[in-house]
Each structure stands twice: as structure tokens, then as C-alpha cells.
Amino acid sequence: MARKAVSRKRKAPASPGAGSDAQGPQFGWDHSLHKRKRLPPVKRSLVYYLKNREVRLQNETNYSRVLHGYAAQQLPSLLKEREFHLGTLNKVFASQWLNHRQVVCGTKCNTLFVVDVQTSQITKIPILKDREPGGVTQGCGIHAIELNPSRTLLATGGDNPNSLAIYRLPTLDPVCVGDDGHKDWIFSIAWISDTMAVSGSRDGSMGLWEVTDDVLTKSDARHSVSQVPVYAHITHKALKDIPKEDTNPDNCKVRALAFNNKNKELGAVSLDGYFHLWKAENTLSKLLSTKLPYCRENVCLAYGSEWSVYAVGSQAHVSFLDPRQPSYNIKSVCSRERGSGIRSVSFYEHIITVGTGQGSLLFYDIRAQRFLEERLSACYGSKPRLAGENLKLRTGRGWLNHDETWRSYFSDTDSFPNAVYTHCYDSSGTKLFVAGGPLPSGLHGNYAGLWS
């Protein structure tokens, strides 16, 4: 009996979880080791999993932003030009990418066309006419082209430069014409929603236009019945005059618009040297007016959403305005091309691209607060470049009409720099479409090129 009791006592430690005095090998799970590997209950929860996934996505987003920023920094020095031949068209004033290979453009000779950047094919788009023809001003052309946020509608000028024309995308079928509002040329357009656009005119007013569901539905019905383009005629929803200064009331022409979607605010630049800010939702209400530090030839405006600043181009400077800051905090940088004017400006990442009247493209780094500089050229046979000089890309020759005006006033000069009246990046940020023409108003010519 005593032996049996002892035997049972020795077998006991062989059970799982026995102490260190256990003899022989133990089979099955090592529960103590398993417990050490198991995650704490809070880390096994769904909340922890979702939070961990969110952190990973944020890291990926930050990496993507850094990558895009690096690409934007390096791209300008790598861009190479390929020119397009536009025939006898006169000065491209406006352009926008429709997709990865098509750009829609508007000219001084009132031509709306699409260029395929892969095949160089040019397709002209019919211009929309007013309800009552007559009173069309020649020599002005199309100064603005803008796509709505969902890229389903395109707004531009009509056959009458005082009127607003709306097309449907991607077909470019005509939708409507706003021919009851402005008394002078439309210089700029900005969409403030998918169905509402604002036009800025040389008559000193801003028009608010709405493309209603009823207009779109009737437009679709007309296209299904008739093969001939038929479109509606709409009236402005509101028409607001910008403030006029007593010093120069006749020069209060709205030259450029830019919309801040986050705050629903619309910036406007007038030729008398003022920047105006409007609340723009279902109507337009003025918020402030600020005198610009450089008041000559303020003809272009862009908004950088990431930086919450407006960039205004003038005769020789780009000025940066933050409406939240006092007006004396406006910072300006000189293009070093005095007299030729800043003709176009845009934001891409932290790089601001500047198109000048001398046919130059400059690139300003808003983070470093300086223009990008040239790199030392190491290519055999290339023109030597000095380190420390601003990076400057120059447009090609384009086409110039040697007409009577050229023979009478400009025949001593065979070619002129092509002012960069418009430029736009594609969605990838790796292609830059640049267009314009000779700066003197009396000269007839054009330029268009793809920089990639």
C-alpha cells in the first residue's frame, strides 16, 4: 500500500503545468509559452485593428506627398519642349486639360479647339451664338476656359465675347449661353460648384450663372431629336459690380478670378490694382478689398489651397496674399523681367509656375521662398549655365504672320518672344502644356508646346 502511494506521488508532476522538478519529456502544448505569445486583449480588438490600419494609411499618404513634392521640385529642370503647329490661329489665351491626351484651347481670333498632344491633331469646336445676333466685338477672343469640379461641364466665352458659353463633357455638346448680363468682354471664369459659375468682365461686374437640371434635361432632349446643335439661353442669377475707387473709376475691370473651395471665397483682381474677396455660395457678398503693392498690369491670379494664399501676377512681380493676414503682410517677388509682365501663374504642389511676356517659364518654391536655380550643365556641346541663376525655360519660335502691321512697324525684327498667356499641368503633374503668342497687340501669331 505504501509503494502504491509513492508511485502515484511520482506520477503527479508529469501532468501539464508541473514544476521544474518534473522528470522526462513533456508532450502537448507549452501553455506558459503560448500565454507569452498571445497579444493583450486590447490589441486583439477591432478598434485597435482599424486604428493600426489608419496609421499605415497615413504613413503611405505622407510618403506619397513627399514623393509628389520631390517630383515637383525636380521636374522643371528635366522638361523638354515639343511644339505644335496651329496654322494661322492668333494667340492662345486659355487652355485646360480634358484628359491625359487632349487639351482644349481658346484664341484671340475667337476659335475654340482641342489639340491631341500625342498625334498633334487639331479639332475645332463650334462657337455658341447669342439669342439675338449683332454687337459682336472683333479682336477680343476667348480669354477663359474652366471645367467644373466633377469635370462634366466646361465654361468659356461665346461668339459674343460678352457672353458665357457652357458645353457638356466629354462630348463638348453645347448646353446653354448666358447672353443677358455683361456689357463688355468676359476676361475670367470660376466655378463655385458643379452647377454655378462666376464670370468676371471688363465692364467691372461679376455675373453668377446657374446651369439648372431643367436646362440640362432640355439640352439632352434637343440633342436626341435634332442632329443640329441646339442650346438654351440663360439669364444671370446675380450681377455684382466690384467697388470703384474715386481715383480711377474707369479702370475697375475684372481681370482674373480664383476660387477657394474650402472657405467658399472668390478672389478677384481688377486692373486698377485692387484685390477683392467675395463670399460665393448661392450669391455673391463682398468681404474685403485690398490695394496691391504693384498695381500695373495685374492680369493673372491663382489660389494655392495647401498654402491658403492667392498669387497675383503684375508687370514684374508675383504677390502673395493671405486674406487672414493684414494687407501690409503681402509678400512679393520680382521676376527679373521688367516690362514684359507676368501673364500666367499656377500652383502645383509647392512650386508656383510663372509664365512671362518674354516667353519664359520660371518656377518659384514657396517653401524655400526663392526661384528654382539652374543646375550646372554636364552635357557635351550644351550652352554653359551658371549655377545660382534662376531656372528659366524659353518657348520656341512659334508662328508669326508677316502681315501689313509687321511690315510697317516690326519688319526690323524677324521674330518675337512668345508671351506665355496660358499654361496648365496634366493630372499626373509630369506634362505641362504652354501656349500664347507675340506680346505686341498688333502682331498676329501663335505658340503652343508640350513640355514633358
pLDDT (0 to 100) of residue 43: 54
Of 350, 277, 346, nearest in space to 313 by CA:
346
pLDDT band per the 50, 70, 90 thresholds, residue 58: low
In sequence order, which residues have a C-beta less than 8 Å from that of residue 268 and are 6 or more positions away?
A: 200, 206, 242, 254, 256, 257, 275, 276, 277, 278, 301
pLDDT band per the 50, 70, 90 thresholds, residue 39: low
Instruction: Report whether 68 contacts 75 (CB < 8 A).
Output: no
The helix/strand/coil state of 5 is helix
Instruction: Report whether 123 contacts 137 (CB < 8 A).
Output: no
Give all strands (DSSP E) within 181-224, no chain letters: 186-191, 196-201, 205-210
Q: How far apart are alpha carbons 113 and 87 in whole angstroms?
A: 12
pLDDT band per the 50, 70, 90 thresholds, residue 324: confident
Instruction: Report whether 188 contacts 254 (CB < 8 A).
Output: yes
pTM of the full predicted structure?
0.81
pLDDT (0 to 100) of residue 383: 52
pLDDT (0 to 100) of residue 247: 54
Q: Spell out a b/e string for 174-189, using b for 16 or more CB atoms within 10 Å of the CB, else e.
A: bbbbbbbbbebbbbbb
Residue 4 has pLDDT above 50, yes or no: no
Instruction: Report whether 364 contacts 390 (CB < 8 A).
Output: no
pLDDT (0 to 100) of residue 175: 95
Specify whether the backbone of 359 is left (phi greater than 0), alpha (psi in -120 to 50) or beta: left
| Phi/psi of residue 232, nearest 5 degrees | -85, 170
Q: Strand 153-157 to strand 145-147: parallel, antiparallel, or no bridges (unpaired)?
A: antiparallel
Of 33-47, 181-195, 224-238, where does mean pLDDT reach its minimum? 33-47
Half-sphere exposure in the Cβ direction for 325 (13 Å, CA)? 12
Q: In the structure grid, which three cell numbers stand for residue 313, read together?
A: 501676377
Q: In the structure grid, which three cell numbers stand for residue 193, read together?
A: 460648384
Residue 138 has pLDDT above 80, yes or no: no
Q: Work out the average pLDDT over 235-261.
A: 84
Q: Work out the average pLDDT over 323-350.
A: 86
Q: SS3 letters for 102-124?
A: EEEEEECCCCEEEEECCCCCEEE
Give all strands (DSSP E) within 349-401, no chain letters: 351-356, 360-365, 370-371, 392-394, 399-400
Q: Spell out a b/e string for 32-59, using b for 16 or more CB atoms within 10 Å of the CB, else e.
A: eeeeeeeeeeeeeeeeeeeeeeeeeeee
pLDDT (0 to 100) of residue 382: 44
Half-sphere exposure in the Cβ direction for 189 (13 Å, CA)? 32
